[in-house]
């Protein structure tokens, strides 16, 4: 299969590009790490192949509208 054909086939079947699908999947994985682990932001950035905290923060903020620290603060239970 050619990359062009695969891309157009994927878009027809899923109503989004492969890149959009991968980005959404990465966001879900990052959210899961924030909810269920005590990893620091730089550890999560390393795990997902981001150069540093600022890159993962920009990626996350572009998709979710909030920073990683703000997201983690919102989801933590209040005591």
CATH code of the domain in which 59 resides: 1.10.10.60
Residue 78: pLDDT band with limits 50, 70, 90: low
Domain that holds residue 7: 3-75
Cβ atoms of 20 and 61 closer than 8 Å: no
Cβ atoms of 49 and 40 closer than 8 Å: no
Assign 3-class secondary structure to the chain: CCHHHHHHHHHHHHCCCHHHHHHHHHHHHHHHHHHHCCCCHHHHHHHCCCCCHHHHHHHHHHHHCCCHHHHHHHHCCCC
**pLDDT, tens digit (0-9, with 9 covering 90-100), for 14-63:** 999 999 999 999 999 999 999 999 999 999 999 999 999 999 999 999 99
**Total domains present in the chain:** 1
Residue 3: what pLDDT? Answer: 87
């Amino acid at each position: 299969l050619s990359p062009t054909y695969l891309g157009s086939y994927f878009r027809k079947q899923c109503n989004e590009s492969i890149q959009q699908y991968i980005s959404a999947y990465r966001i879900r994985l990052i959210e899961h790490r924030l909810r269920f682990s005590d990893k620091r932001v730089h550890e999560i950035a390393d795990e997902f192949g981001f150069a540093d905290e600022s890159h993962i923060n920009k990626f996350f903020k572009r998709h979710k509208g909030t920073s990683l620290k703000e997201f983690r603060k919102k989801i933590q239970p209040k005591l």
